[in-house]
Each structure stands twice: as C-alpha cells, then as structure tokens.
Amino acid sequence: MDRKPWLVGVTGASGTPYAAAVLRGLIDAGEDVDLVISQAARLTLIDETGRGVRDKHWQQDVGSWVSRDVSRVRYWSAGDIAAGPASGSYRTKGMIIVPATTASVAGIAAGTSKDLLQRAADVTLKERRRLVIVLRETPLRLSTLDNLRTLALEGAIIMPASPAFYAGATDIDQLVDFMAGRVLDLCDVEHDLYRRWTGTLGAARMVAHAE
C-alpha cells in the first residue's frame, strides 16, 4: 500500500518536548512519519534534553529521544534539499511544525525555502495540504503577526504553544501532552493524551461552589 506519512518539522524554538510528544502520539497511532530537524533545532534539543541528533545515527538518537520504536519514521537531513518532501509529487498527509520559530514562519511566509523543512512547508501549502504551525515565541512583533496572517490566509493552522489548564494537568508532561493532543486532533489522529472538556465538569464545579 502507498505510504502516506505525516511530515513533522522541528525548528529551533524552545519546546522540543512538544515535538517528542507529537512524534510519540503519531507513532502510537500507527502513523508513518517523516521527520526533518532544522540545524537550530539540533541546538535547542541539546539545550533542552542533553541529546544530539546525528544524521548518521538518527535512528538511535531519535529513538532514545522519543522513547519509541522508530521503524515507521523516515528521517531526512535538513540540508537535503533534494529529499522526497521537497517535491509536491511526494505524497504526505500534511505537515506539523512543532515547535515553530518566528524565523521559520518568516521564511515559509516569504517562500524563501532556506532548507528542506521550509521547502517542505512551502510544498505543503502549494499542494493545499494541512499545515499545522505550533509557534513558540512571546511577545510577537508586528512582522511575525503579519507573517502568521499570511500563512493563515493560505490555509495554515496557527497553533501557538499555549497549553490550557482546564484539563486538570498536575505536571509539565501533562501540559505538554495537552498541546500534543490538540495538534493530533487537528490531524484527525486518535489519541488519549488529555482529558477532553465535556461541559458537564465545569457546570458541576460551579454548582458545588455555589452551594
């Protein structure tokens, strides 16, 4: 059967735990995954996890980073501009950029395709496939807001890394999983990463407080 992966791009914003959680969610759901990690993201990975990802040993490095079997993952070097995802004829279900930098947002909005990750995002947009951008930066300057507007007008889903607290998270992993779960929701990927809001929970709490 035709392989149709989700493409995951990791850029050099703070938030590599979000990327790991999304990757775990996709793998656990049995999805095929194509992975591109920008040069800057290698630095944030080292900074935030103490781990590097080496192109030659990516299976070992990514496997231990996400604590999963990565046999359904295909890794592409960010410098490999001739890689599969650089072409619209390479089929994917869409692309998730997690975390996304303001620099990548600018590059994708301008269409400059400075590396495979940005080219793949460009392709995702031109092929009218789903593009989820999990931006991590605050505050935002006007040019970033303009770039996000441009991307939203082109159909990208802008999803700031902004976990909510209503799901009852009691530790950081649960906040991270909440974000990852919301990303997977946008991709129609089944998961059990957070407790969904049902409405009744909030009403019951209000009643309890009113009494």
Ligand X SMILES: Cc1cc2nc3c(=O)[nH]c(=O)nc-3n(C[C@H](O)[C@H](O)[C@H](O)COP(=O)(O)O)c2cc1C
Q: Which residues bind ligand X (CB under 6 A)?
A: 11-14, 38, 40-41, 43-44, 47, 101-104, 136-137
Q: Which of 198, 185, 180 minimizes the C-alpha distance to 22?
A: 180
Question: Minimum Å distance from CB 206 to ligand X?
Answer: 36
C-beta closer to ligand X: residue 40 or 201: 40
Question: Cβ-closest residue to ligand X?
Answer: 12
Question: Minimum Å distance from CB 162 to ligand X?
Answer: 13
Question: Minimum Å distance from CB 29 to ligand X?
Answer: 26
C-beta closer to ligand X: residue 13 or 22: 13
Q: Rounded to whole angstroms, how far apart are CA atoms 160 and 164?
A: 11
As annotated, the binding site for FMN includes 12-14, 38, 101-104, 136
Q: In a 10 Å sphere around its CB, with 0-12 CB exposed, 13-18 middle and 19+ buried, how is residue 39 labelled? A: middle
C-beta closer to ligand X: residue 161 or 189: 161
Question: Minimum Å distance from CB 200 to ligand X?
Answer: 36
As annotated, the binding site includes 12-14, 38, 101-104, 136, 166, 182
Q: Rounded to whole angstroms, how far apart are CA atoms 85 and 120?
A: 5
Question: Minimum Å distance from CB 45 to ligand X?
Answer: 10
